[in-house]
Amino acid sequence: MRSPAAVVLGWLCLVAAVPAVVYLVLFHGAATAAATVVTCFALLVWPRPDLALVMLLGLVPVAAVAEPSGTAAVVLVTGAVAVLLFRVVLKGLQPRVDLAVLLLLTFAVTVSYLLPQITVTTERPWKGYVVLLVGLGLLAVSAAAPADPRRIAQVVAVSGAAVAGYLLLQEEYAAGRLTGLALNPNYIGALLALPLVAAVGLARLNRSWLWLLPALPCATAILETRSRGAFLMVAAGVACVVLAGRPLRHKVLIALSIFGVAMVLPGSLDEVGNSLTGDRSTVELTANTDVRKRAAWVAARVAFDHPFRGIGYGMFPEYARTSSDLGIYINTHNEYLRLAAEAGIGALVLFVALLWLGLARRRTPDLAILQALGVATAVGLLFANTLTNLVVSAPFWVSVGCLLARSARSSRPDPAPTPLLSVRKT
């Protein structure tokens, strides 16, 4: 157990880091701020890599607010992951199934990026590939040196509430939908869905209803985004929190009740969807859905045509632009189909295997919150390509990594008991 003084000192350091980073970014530039933070991480990583990981989660939204283009956040996470990986490698890694799957996924994505199946005349995109590798590195660090799950949930909830308040005060709207941080409304919704789920999880599983306070700005901002994907993310995450720890019969009854209501009142879902999407017209929603369906169909066909290496990571938008079925520059809007189309079906299988290893297990209350964050993101990946945005995906990588670490620890056999009395042969 840590002493109360150490706990207070740790929280004071977290609070003091926020204005320090903002000051450095505003008056000395993003590069200076990133270099300073990485230096501090280097001093902290060796004795407390878990604390450094929690601090990183809190600093990523601050960097995004201070420098909306996202460059500062990417540099910050890249430097921190490099230092943390160096620390983990020096400490030594034991062979594990999840780490082997992670290495294979990194190899598959790298091969698809370096050896694309199609050629384009435009400049090769590289930022998405680099950001994905950094995210996988963050996952590896979290799996090798996991942080306290309760602290992770607390930092995600508080920092997300602060970002939501900032966005509401900025009042940046596009076509009546909340935007900001150089992100479109769908990404803003995905960014704030995880803090909302974390806050609800802390309130429900830790019996501390004060955690509903940070959930309020997050919920308000998500409603302002009018993002259907964000609504589904929140629903999936909150459902995991509500059902956690309940007997199987209760889960079945709740699921059957929801299904029965939907069958008895067939128009209820449409009415709820219309009320949530606000001023978005039916024509707009239908056109948006139609384009995404066409992109998904093309991505699925590309995946089956190039099942081993895909067409090359980051190549689908350009492929869609020249395709006769689409003819527009658009991504898949589905991260699973993107992996299958751009990196091959094998990469998709490896990614789903990582999700299964981390999420498909009953958890303690604190870990159940991280599990809910992972499930919410897994649902959100059906509607947006958020893995290549660290501001949105950082809590997901850290949560799944910590769950993988706990799974590997619980699967180890217990050491043989030491006998109380031993007879020495002569």
How far apart CA 342 and CA 331 sit, in angstroms, is 11
Label residues 334-344 b or e (16+ Cβ within 10 Å = b). Answer: bbbbbbbbbbb
Q: What is the pLDDT along the chain (426 residues), one digit of tens a residue?
A: 455 655 565 556 655 665 666 666 566 666 666 666 666 666 777 778 888 889 889 889 988 888 888 788 888 888 888 888 888 887 777 778 989 999 999 999 999 999 888 877 667 778 889 999 999 999 999 999 899 999 999 999 999 999 999 999 998 998 888 999 989 999 999 999 999 999 999 998 878 888 999 999 999 999 999 888 899 899 889 888 888 776 666 666 665 665 555 444 444 444 555 555 555 556 556 666 778 888 889 999 999 999 888 999 999 988 888 887 788 888 898 999 999 999 999 999 999 999 999 988 777 888 899 999 999 999 999 999 999 999 999 999 999 999 998 876 665 554 444 444 444 444
Give me the helix-helix angle, 49-66 and 149-170, nearest 10°: 10
pTM score > 0.85 for this model? no
Neighbours of 411 (CB within 10 A): 11
Question: How distant is the alpha carbon of residue 63 from its chain centre?
Answer: 17
82 within 8 A of 45, measured Cβ to Cβ? no
CA distance 143 to 358: 10
Return the pLDDT at 49: 82
- Please tell me the predicted confidence (pLDDT) of residue 109: 95
pLDDT at 1: 46
Query: At 344, phi and psi to the nearest 5?
Result: 105, 160
**What is the per-residue pLDDT for 10?**
58
Plot region of 180 (φ>0 → left; ψ -120 to 50 → alpha; else → beta): left
Q: Look at residue 80 in the predicted model and tell me its pLDDT.
A: 85
At residue 353, the pLDDT reads 94
- What's the confidence (pLDDT) of residue 15? 59
Let me know: does 38 contact 30? Beta carbons within 8 Å.
no
Q: Facing residues of 177 across strands?
A: 174
The pLDDT of residue 13: 61
Type and span of the H or E element at 177: strand 177-178
Q: Report pLDDT for 208.
A: 80
Euclidean distance between CA atoms 241 and 234, whole angstroms: 11
Whose CA is closest to 49, among 132, 135, 133, 140? 140
Between CA 19 and CA 8 the distance in angstroms is 18
Residue 105 confidence (pLDDT): 96
pLDDT of residue 423: 44
67's tokens: 């420098």
Query: CA nearest 20: which of 79, 66, 77, 68?
Result: 66
**What per-residue confidence (pLDDT) applies to 51?**
84
Beta carbons of 392 and 187 less than 8 angstroms apart? yes
What are the b/e assignments for 371-382, b being 16+ CB within 10 Å? bbbbbbbbbbbe
Task: Say how many C-beta atoms besides its own lie within 10 A of residue 279's C-beta.
Answer: 9
Is residue 242 within 8 Å of 234, Cβ to Cβ?
A: no
CA dihedral for 22, 28, 31, 32, sign (positive or negative): negative
Other Cβ atoms within 10 Å of 235 Cβ, number: 14
Hey, what are 388's tokens?
A: 């290549």
